[in-house]
Amino acid sequence: MLDFRLSALILAAGTLLGQDTRLSYEAASVKLNTSGANGSSSNGSKGQIVITNMPLHRIIERAYGVKPFQVTGPGWLDDVRFDIAAKYPPDIKSEDRLIMMRNLLEDRFKMVVHRESKDMPGYALMVAKGHFKLKPVEPGESKDWGTSQHGGRVSTLAAQKTSMATLADNLGRTLGEVVVDKTGLTDVYDFELKWTNDDKAPEGEAVPNLFTAVQETLGLKLQPQKVPAQIIVVDRIERTPIEQ
């Protein structure tokens, strides 16, 4: 009898522990945005995240850290937009933030997804013949950001303490295709990559296209090939979120 009670207590404790350790925001507001505006924004800090007028499709992309073509589901996901304001618990780890957003979507929209893997046309990021042109730097907080100049015709990606995997992800977002890191390089690097977004650079500037810039500036190349991509398939999701 004692063994049975002990087992029951252990099971109950495990159940409660599972509930307590499910990552969730301290508080979260999810509201439909009916402003009709086209633009959206997302501002995050250590304590909170504020999303304004963002399509639900894009929110799902952010929650899983994938690109637009890696999410499939109802067509209306691009039509409905939401405002989300959520407060993080103290001392939240950066890698837990995406999990919290996924849990929020599951709780408020009753979202159910499954993952599939398929080969898609894309690129492998590889070391070009010759030599790699960057030198490793001390690891630390990674920073990268993109800017556009000359009416959007020239883009710059400046990065600090950035891995090749992160670079591949950024290039994939720029190209709208899958880019996988096959450089075999495990260090982090500082660099600035500048390229033209069309066939003609602004007058007086000799700016290469992205593929040439990657090779000339970094000593890497984007090799076209079939690459594996993870697809997030939305099996079920409610159009109207549950209020809490």
> What are the mean pLDDT values of the chain's consecutive 10-residue runs (244 residues total)?
41 41 90 93 85 96 91 96 94 87 97 94 92 90 60 80 91 89 95 81 72 95 92 96 85
pLDDT at 123: 95
Q: Last residue of a domain, which of 58, 92, 109? A: 109
Return d(Cα 141, Cα 226) in angstroms, integer: 32
On whether both 122 and 223 belong to a single domain, the answer is: yes
Cβ contact 242:110 at 8 Å: yes
Residues 225 and 123 in one domain: yes
Q: Give me the domain span that covers residue 191.
A: 118-229
Angle between helix 97-109 and helix 56-64 axes, rounded to 10 deg? 140
Predicted pLDDT of residue 150? 53
Q: Are strands 154-163 and 112-127 parallel, antiparallel or unpaired?
A: unpaired
Structure tokens at 224: 């076209």
Last residue of a domain, one of 109, 139, 170: 109
Q: Which of 89, 109, 129 delimits the end of a domain?
A: 109
240 lies in a domain? no
Task: Establish if 160 belongs to a structural domain.
Answer: yes
For residue 74, which of 241, 235, 240 has the smallest C-alpha distance? 235
Could you give the number of structural domains in the chain?
2
In this structure, is residue 221 part of a structural domain?
yes
- Identify the pLDDT of residue 204: 55
8 A C-beta contact, residue 183 and residue 126: yes
Instruction: Tell if the pTM clears 0.85, that is, is over it.
Output: no
Q: Does any domain span residue 5?
A: no
